[in-house]
A and B are shown apart, each in its own frame.
Chain A
């Protein structure tokens, strides 16, 4: 078992080290086709807007061989203006915090899906609080420079890991934003082999009732996975959720309703081990569900949360039909 586990670590390291696309360090990633991440202010504790915990954590992996300074950039970091979701009047404040150092990733609370315990583990490298700020509306804000060595080195990824947490500390507006990992402070210049992932994805669906607007997220299926349990929140029954893999073509999964959690189990096929699944979300035709914000997480049979990588490990899984033709008896 140890040997197998070691082999899998090596494979995952190689996969993570593969050259990623030009925009691969943007979150959401280009293969995900998700317009924005979203975090609401926690005032009033109203979850029916589509955020179950008013906090979102993402991790960035920087390949160990990358030694130059890098930056973490936030698009539309403020709360207010054209892109964010207004509730009565703009009163929300968001705190973005970047962590590195020991425990920033490996602390068990950091891998949770709820902002509890020591989820802010590690060394605080930078933090800033945002309210309404027209100067940042639909513009990029840059954290850094950071030294890659200030992250937590994680051998399985052969990478230094950094963590960024967005906490909606006050107010009740919805903060729509995106991240990017960059070699430059004034432009998004990707770092070869870097990636980003989260354990609980809270994002905005497209404001469109065209089913061609398909969003994806890509959980990675590690060795030893027998089945997964997906949990989704506040989907408002907006369309269809299917799972695609190299050997699974469009298995339908249940979607949640308004302010509701839904979960379902799905056995994992041998061919899916060591690859990513494609969770596809099709918007509903007909009546448009506007400003639909949703939450998704996945765990394995041990209750361990699985990562959603912005650049899917092993690439976007493509279903491969296998034809057999034989004479009829």
Chain B
């Protein structure tokens, strides 16, 4: 494991300066930035975004002259809290939960959505030297958070000193608790397990199965509001070391995990992905700078409009009503109303319906036929009907496809008069994008996807660029049904 390399603070600082230009540039769908305020010369990882700051764990020196180690001389992880400044950036970290245990690792952690319950990792044996051949594995504990005070520390009911239980993550709705363990029955070094909160009690842990868990390690589970369960794994197929993957619960089963692209993942260890719910920005940890684990900030570069008009179908069907006749429709009359729709078709009645073949200018007229004499009173009323296509970008595609099937999307029928179009930008609703008048897309996972087509004009005088957006839902089925 690359993560067990130790570094000197001086060397780290020099290299940080030298390499800082490497980050902050956009690659793929994300931009990645270092976060100097919470980075140290030691290992910083497992960021948790709270409403008022970042909670993370670190084995940094408490001060230049003091390094916390356990009784065996191993540097210990402890929790730190970096409050957000007025710009939303994390500030100087401070120790958090120093009363949770002495001479023991504390963290990673998770916090319930109401902020009152802390779920954290800690060694089972606390406060004494571990005997030779004695195991001191990791377990999950909870504490009640009351301001800066953490009290009432309790062990997770499924802790087993013979197994490691770590990386707790409680979902935003407090319904699910994910954690990682090497408990009996695990498929690899570390597997992800899930418990459900039923009537205030956690159900027995369930292994997420071989789609998610591998013979290698799966750690740092995080469930995003998009439905994606992000985690880190050093399984084959990644970019090297630990990489960040995601899976989705679709039709009752976890889907085959997908590895995130560069620059989130690198050849180094990339792990502990934690995003703001409802957004694609957040933090993760990586040792890509080769010396230690650092926390990075990421933000999506994908363009996706928060408010985008739904694609509307052009309507060429109209109702024609002779209001005065309709008002007296109950009376017995000796006339018949005959509509000429202006496209060579006719219909009888006080009201009529007609669907035109397409846009155009139609001279609608109404003849009234005298049923007594047979005479026709021509053009008793007329109406100039101008039918125009809706001014909008148009997505032409099937509404439903099978997973793995090639979906072709075309914007050629867009009706944007007067717009000198520079770009057709497609957001496929799964954090992938493309551009072009006609594009192809293969969805590997079943589900419903909201595709956005964003059309941009060339810059007009003064550099003004006009942009319009339209969206359409596509259903991707496992079997086409």
Contacts and interface: CB of A to CB of B under 8 A. Distances in A.
Asked if A and B are interacting partners, one says: yes
A77 to B, nearest CB: 35
B332 A252 contact: yes
A155 interface: no
Contacts of A322: 322-324, 381
Which 5 A-B pairs rank lowest in CB-CB distance, beginning with the nearest? A321-B381, A328-B317, A322-B323, A324-B321, A211-B373
A249 B324 CA distance: 9
A118 interface: no
A248 interface: yes
Interface in A309-329: 319-328
Interface of B: 315, 317-325, 327-328, 331-335, 337, 353, 355, 364, 366, 368, 370, 372-373, 375, 380-383, 385
Contacts of B334: 240, 242, 250, 252
A88 interface: no
Candidate in A211, A242, A322, A323 with the most chain B CB atoms within 10 angstroms: A323
Contacts of A250: 333-335, 370
A328 B372 contact: no
B381 A323 contact: yes
A128 B139 CA distance: 130
B323 to A, nearest CB: 4
A249 B325 contact: yes
Given A211-B373, A212-B373, A321 B333 contact: no
Nearest to B381: A321
A282 interface: yes
A252 to B, nearest CB: 4
Given A326-B318, A328-B315, A247 B324 contact: yes
A216 to B, nearest CB: 14
A210 to B, nearest CB: 9
A323 B333 contact: no
Contacts, number: 89
B319 A321 contact: no
A127 interface: no
Nearest to B320: A325
Interface in A282-329: 282, 319-328
Taking chain A's interface residues, is the majority helix, strand, or loop, or is none over half, making it mixed?
strand
Nearest to B337: A321
Given A319-B380, A322-B323, A326-B319, 9 more contacts: A249-B333, A249-B368, A252-B334, A269-B328, A319-B368, A321-B325, A321-B381, A325-B320, A326-B318
A272 to B, nearest CB: 11
A242 B375 CA distance: 15
19 contacts: A211-B373, A212-B373, A240-B372, A242-B333, A248-B328, A251-B331, A251-B332, A252-B331, A252-B332, A320-B381, A321-B368, A321-B381, A323-B366, A324-B320, A324-B321, A324-B323, A328-B317, A328-B319, A328-B355
A328 B385 CA distance: 14
A323 B364 contact: yes
Nearest to A321: B381
A324 to B, nearest CB: 4
A37 B327 CA distance: 36
Contacts of A324: 319-321, 323
Interface in A83-105: none
A325 B373 CA distance: 29
Contacts of A319: 324, 368, 380
Nearest to A211: B373
Contact of B318 (A251, A269, A325): A325
Contacts of A325: 318-321, 364, 383, 385
Contacts of A242: 333-334, 372
A329 to B, nearest CB: 8
Interface string A239-264: 11010000111111000000000000
